[in-house]
């Protein structure tokens, strides 16, 4: 828990905002309006807000396209041929990796399939994939179809680790026990670094170490982790990771995805991959030779000419992250989420109609708190929406669901643009509803 002593009043929230060195970044973003006022936007875990610089930078690239056409790939301040390089530089401190281990390309599930081509190499003896039960559907579908593609039965090949009866969160020891139990038959361990539903952050370092001891490859889907929680992909020795950029990285709907490949793999000639011409070694790419020669690092997994216009919002966002500093963003996030937790618990003490299921420990969660509701939960969600709070509703779908709860309201105050007053106003509305 944060060491800050919280108070449930508006003056205290405003005091924290005045002391917040990141508070000016809020002015860089466009907020949806409700009755002529900014909404309380707590839905960055689904789609981050647009920064005000995006339109200007998009227009610049449209102008470059118009004035330079094909020469835009090779001339100007940021030639399109090297456009991805700045993105990798600014992603490096966020993902805990070297720029060479990172690449912005495609969209998330495409990248997940590409990584599984390289890192899920099943044999008759070692063919299983271990993952969390109730993972985001894209991961479930990707794993199911990859297993079938290799001729295995998903019911046998996919091992799902579930919460214990009557609980919502996974225990570290249960994950590690599953790896030990199935280790000799396991080809790949694939977890969401942050569970999209509960907001639980898994111990990625411990999972990676256990997976490697078992002889398996280990990867993570960081859709809900990138830009939200600290990771050290290189130092943890993770084999690969993928993520989207349109949630906490604020890069626009369907924005360019990212991938990490540990440097020890990039020079492995025996590692299979699906290739495309943009992944070819850059200095000789335009010679159009037969025989694929991959670019160094994660860039060697690229397929097609990148979509520059979707990379523009990502570039603008990552520049803001570089200015803010990810460590400072994380420190604010811990305080902001801690204040949200404190206020929700103050209100929930007056009722049994909802409770937080996200872990208490700051190192086991990001900025999202998942609030499990009773049958009137959808009414509460609609009430909050009607009062200018934008957040997220999910039907209750935890493994072993008894049907006693209606759903989860996911509340995600993001440190780049949310304030302590936002959190207080949300709790104020919550208390009015309860009473």
CA distance 83 to 81: 6
pLDDT value for 77: 87
CA distance 384 to 375: 16
Residues of the chain with CATH 3.90.1150.10: 10-30+326-434
Strands 33-34 and 29-30: unpaired
Which 8-state DSSP code applies to residue 317? H
CATH classification number, 10-30+326-434, choose in 3.90.1150.10, 3.40.50.880, 3.30.1060.10, 3.40.50.720? 3.90.1150.10
Residues of the chain with CATH 3.40.640.10: 58-323
As given in the structure block, the two tokens for residue 100 are: 């060479």
CA distance 435 to 129: 48
* Confidence band of 376 (pLDDT split at 50, 70, 90): confident
| Average pLDDT rounded to a whole number, residues 297-320 | 96
| Average pLDDT rounded to a whole number, residues 215-240 | 98
- pLDDT digit string, tens, across residues 268-277: 878 999 999 9
Question: HSE of 259 in the Cβ direction (CA atoms, 13 Å)?
Answer: 26
Residue 403 has pLDDT above 60, yes or no: no
Q: What does pLDDT average to over the chain?
A: 94
Residue 82 has pLDDT above 60, yes or no: yes
Nearest residue to 210 via CA among 184, 166, 179, 237: 179
Alpha helices in 325-419 (DSSP H): 326-348, 377-386
Strands 186-192 and 158-161: unpaired
- pLDDT digit string, tens, across residues 250-259: 999 999 999 9
Residue 404 has pLDDT above 80, yes or no: no
* Confidence band of 267 (pLDDT split at 50, 70, 90): confident
CA distance 329 to 310: 24
| Average pLDDT rounded to a whole number, residues 357-363 | 96
Residue 75 has pLDDT above 50, yes or no: yes
Residue 363 has pLDDT above 80, yes or no: yes
CATH of region 58-323: 3.40.640.10
Give the rounded percent of residues in the chain with a pLDDT score beyond 70. 97
* Confidence band of 4 (pLDDT split at 50, 70, 90): confident
Residue 1 has pLDDT above 90, yes or no: no
Is residue 118 within 8 Å of 273, Cβ to Cβ? yes
Residue 42 has pLDDT above 50, yes or no: yes
pLDDT value for 270: 82
| Average pLDDT rounded to a whole number, residues 83-112 | 97
Burial grade of 301 (CB within 10 A; 0-12, 13-18, 19 or more): buried
pLDDT value for 87: 97
Q: Which residue has the higher pLDDT, 394 or 333?
A: 333
* Confidence band of 353 (pLDDT split at 50, 70, 90): confident
Query: pTM of the predicted model, to two decimals?
Result: 0.94
> If residue 324 lies in a helix (H) or strand (E), which one and from where to where?
helix 308-324
Is residue 262 within 8 Å of 290, Cβ to Cβ? no
Residue 400 has pLDDT above 70, yes or no: no
- pLDDT digit string, tens, across residues 171-215: 999 999 999 999 999 999 999 999 999 999 999 999 999 999 999
Question: HSE of 178 in the Cβ direction (CA atoms, 13 Å)?
Answer: 23
Alpha helices in 96-227 (DSSP H): 108-119, 137-149, 154-157, 172-182, 204-213
């Amino acid at each position: 828990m944060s060491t800050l002593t919280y108070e449930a009043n508006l003056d205290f929230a405003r005091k924290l905002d005045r002391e917040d060195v990141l508070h000016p970044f809020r002015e860089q973003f466009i907020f949806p309006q409700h009755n002529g006022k900014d909404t309380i936007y707590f839905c960055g875990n689904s789609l981050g807000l647009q920064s005000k610089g995006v339109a200007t930078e998009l227009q610049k690239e449209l102008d470059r396209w118009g004035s330079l056409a094909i020469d835009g790939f090779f001339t100007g301040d940021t030639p399109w041929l090297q456009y991805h390089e700045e993105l990798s530089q600014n992603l490096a401190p966020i993902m805990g990796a070297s720029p060479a281990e990172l690449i912005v390309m495609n969209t998330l599930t495409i990248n997940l399939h590409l990584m599984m081509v390289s890192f899920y190499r099943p044999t008759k003896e070692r063919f299983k994939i271990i993952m969390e039960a109730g993972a985001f559907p894209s991961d479930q579908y990707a794993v199911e179809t990859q297993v079938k593609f290799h001729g295995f039965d998903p019911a046998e090949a996919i091992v799902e680790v579930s919460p214990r009866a009557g609980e919502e969160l996974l225990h570290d020891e249960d994950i590690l026990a599953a790896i030990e139990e199935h280790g000799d038959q396991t080809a790949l361990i694939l977890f969401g670094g942050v569970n999209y539903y509960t907001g639980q952050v898994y111990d990625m370092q411990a999972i990676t170490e256990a997976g490697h001891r078992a002889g398996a490859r280990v990867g993570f889907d960081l859709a809900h982790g990138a830009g939200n929680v600290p990771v050290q992909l290189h130092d943890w020795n993770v084999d690969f990771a993928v993520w989207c950029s349109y949630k906490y990285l604020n890069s626009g709907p369907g924005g360019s995805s990212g991938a990490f490949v540990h440097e020890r793999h990039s020079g492995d000639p025996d590692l299979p991959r699906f290739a495309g011409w943009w992944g070819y070694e850059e200095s000789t790419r335009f010679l159009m030779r037969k025989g694929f020669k991959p670019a160094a690092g994660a860039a060697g997994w690229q397929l097609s000419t990148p979509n520059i216009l979707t990379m523009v919002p990502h570039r603008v966002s990552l520049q803001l992250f570089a200015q803010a500093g990810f460590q400072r963003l994380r420190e604010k996030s811990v305080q902001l989420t801690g204040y949200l937790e404190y206020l929700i618990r103050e209100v929930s003490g007056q009722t049994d109609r909802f409770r937080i299921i996200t872990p208490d420990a700051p190192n086991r969660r990001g900025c999202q708190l998942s609030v499990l509701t009773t049958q009137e939960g959808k009414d509460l969600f609609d009430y909050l929406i009607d009062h200018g709070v934008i957040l997220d509703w999910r039907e209750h779908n935890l493994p072993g669901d008894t049907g006693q709860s209606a759903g989860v309201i996911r509340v995600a105050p993001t440190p780049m643009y949310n304030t302590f007053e936002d959190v207080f106003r949300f709790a104020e509305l919550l208390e009015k509803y309860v009473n």
